[in-house]
Chain A
Amino acid sequence: MIAFAIAAPFAFALLVRLIPQRSLRRAARTVLTVIAAALPFFCAGSIDRLSLLFAGIVSVLGLLATFFSEGIFADDWTKGYAIWSSKPIYFILLGAFWSAMLLVVLAQNFALLWLGISFTTLATAFLVGYSGEEAALEAAWKYLVLCSVGIAFALLGIVALGHVSIAHGIPPAAALSWDAIEAHGTTGATPLARVAIALMLVGFATKAGLVPMHAWLPDAHSKAPAPISGLLSGVLVSCALYAIMRTLGVANALGAGPFAADLLVWFGALSAVTAGALMLAQTDLKRLLAYSTVEHAGIVALALGFGGPLGWFAALLHVAAHAATKCAAFFMAGIVAQECGSTELRRVRALWTMHPAGGLMLAALAALCGLPPFGLFVSEVLVVLAGISAHRYAPLAFGVLGLALAFAAIARVAIEIEGGVATHVATRRSGRFTALTTTLALCCALGVAIVPWSTLGSALLALAASAGGTP
């Protein structure tokens, strides 16, 4: 069942391609996408709760991104310079991307998890360079090279982890299974165990866009088509953070927990403050949102580094809230690009009065700022509390500074693009379907705000307590 759930999005995308009639193809895509999104939930009995949570994020946002792509897909998207710039290839690559992310979160060991991360690079390199424009190709190239180097180091760490596991008496077949390693446990970390954990963290942090391995992220996330940007920022980064969470669990079991936590805390602090500062200098909406992803990944890394049930709960809530919010923000950036012909900030004005998406964009930007009642507000408060309870005041100060800088940058942009006098005439009206799916994505973000007081909140808290028992 798990294998079927993983393969479904890609297989269904290929299947839809075989249908000759256009209207039938569209209907089939809708039905099959819903089925593909539902399948991981039927695996609940055979995967743990952490995997289920992330599979839910991947599935729900994968579904929304597919619908949104259908609604926003413009004719000129197929006039790219590259040979892969066509609608059928786009949906096949999107299905492959979705399947790869499911492989990451449903894998039971590091070898398959790594394979999933590697698959995401294969699918998304062409999606980043989809338009075939020079800048998009440049972004795709940087993405491919930097992420390949990063995940090569992660693989090296995984190999070293296998060596350590086998040396501790774990059978080779289970040497890369986090369940086996955590069940076995060890007393003290060997130097090689530390090297393995460091390499894995650096590798996965590259994919998560943590500073200083972030150079590819703003380029790739800003040059991809809007639905793909949403998935890259909201979901792929979450998958990389999931890999970091699994690594942290294993690090705790190998006695390298404090070492891994220290590393994550400083990656997180550096990411939050660097991205926050760079956000102030941005002149493009999508690039601003991309840097915001670096900042939020940093906040999650900080929370994980602070550790304990509170830190883990904050991290999980932040990942879920950020995924939904960032998808919504990028979807709306796609609408802005179609309406204004550009996402350059100087060309985007009076969104509030010009388009219904203007209000939604303002809500998304408010959510990204961490304003109540959005989920990110709750999670950011919890991260601060986790930092205080862990007595990690220096990195916490950097994190808070990063949040303040990001708030200033987003608030400035929100005022600029929502107000003012329109400098353009709307060229195209995006379909209702587009706005609907965008709203749905935003509702997810809003819904997450009430998580701490709901049943789901209790389940998340229990999960955090079991996952983050060791600081």
Chain B
Amino acid sequence: MSRNWKRPVKYMPVFDYNRCSRCGLCATACTWGEIRLVPERIENGKPVTMPVANRSSCGACHYCERQCPEEAITIVDTPFVSSHRYWRGDQKNLWRQVDPNSPGHVLLISTGADSELISYFDHLLFDACQVTNPSIDPLREPIELRTYLGRRDFTGVTIPPLLEMQIPILFSAMSFGSINLNVQVAEARAAEIVGTYWNTGEGGLHKALDQYSTHTIVQVASGRFGVSPRFFKNCSAVEIKIGQGAKPGIGGHLPGEKVTGEISKTRMIPQGSDALSPAPHHDIYSIEDLRQLIYAIKETTGYEKPVSVKVSAVHNIAPIVSGIARAGADIIAIDGFRGGTGAAPRRIRQSMGIPIELAISAADRRLREERIRHQVSLIAAGGIRNSADVLKAICLGADAVYIGTAVLVALGCGLCQRCYASKCSYGITTNRPDLAKRLDIDLATQAVVGLVSAWSDEIKELMGGMGINAIGSLVGNRERLRGVHLTHEELQVLGVKQAGQ
């Protein structure tokens, strides 16, 4: 390796200097240090600078492009072309791992797996009414999306009340620390407006969010951050996080420098100390330990709040889910391998866990075979991109879905996959006050409400086409799905017939 060696560039901004007004806004907008201003000329005795790409740190977040008042910036993708097709992608990543500036590091990455592995959602198609069965026009007839989650058990055990949702969509766990308070406020407000729940993630519940308690799910994870009487009081349900789709079996680590005042108070840890979430809960080494934690929480909350358990979709998901149901969980959330993250080792994100489509179907089937499916609710998470994905997940056996990345995209997220860096130019996954204020809470709330209401309308259109007017009639209704381009085994696991059959 030569001394003046440089990694090849992947993305970079290209400037149209004929349009550029030399305002310099782009250099301020870019939080990644990709754009610098260089002196061009002296005009009226003042220096005029022009933006130039550093060719070092662009991740294609597109923030500069979207901020430029003259529309003078284009982000270009400059694929580094090697003649070796098999090695192309990994060559670049390997070079990053041995970069002289930080040699020998584990590659970190954010959001969900972006590999080109099959998306089963894309291979599933809905049924529609023709002749024998009238389709329903959602503009004329009511189509009901109201959903209740929780335990429906009549065997005499004490059961908590059900969670009422006006739509089968909840906002997924994203902690204060991984995202900032502005985002959580927007989520909480939107949840209240549309009638669903937002999830605090493992970072505790900030005091400012106590007022949204009727739409809040709090999360107890292996770090037990912020778990307190106030936390249990100001929530509608409690979720125990065992795993996360992006990094099954892996813990979390919020570096000490990010544990600033408010985060430290909310997580109830000293300012500046690393917030470590161990890979397993140190008191859960098997299912009977989980049962103890579930019942400890139920006792604490007086059996008034449903307890959810969130697990990653792994090979053995069906028996795991059955065990969790029998351990007393009221709701089970399964997070597929496309599930998002604030930070995960790249290899874990890209290659651990299984797709949610297969996992939810297998879990639903196993619970039915064991004749306990009706007793618990299932939530599918991980890689839900649009309203059709929502409905497909429901037809495969989910009662509702969690969306996380979709919410962030609604807030502007450019999906540059660098949330871990805490430099989010959109002010979403950063707690730097100067960046966090880029996110307008009112506009953000409006965007999330807009996302949900648009998807609701689309879901109603889809249901109307299928001639179904209550969402409950689609939960696990694989009859309304057909598969294309799938193998016999894949169809079998999904429980879906081949199109044409």
A and B: bona fide binding partners: no
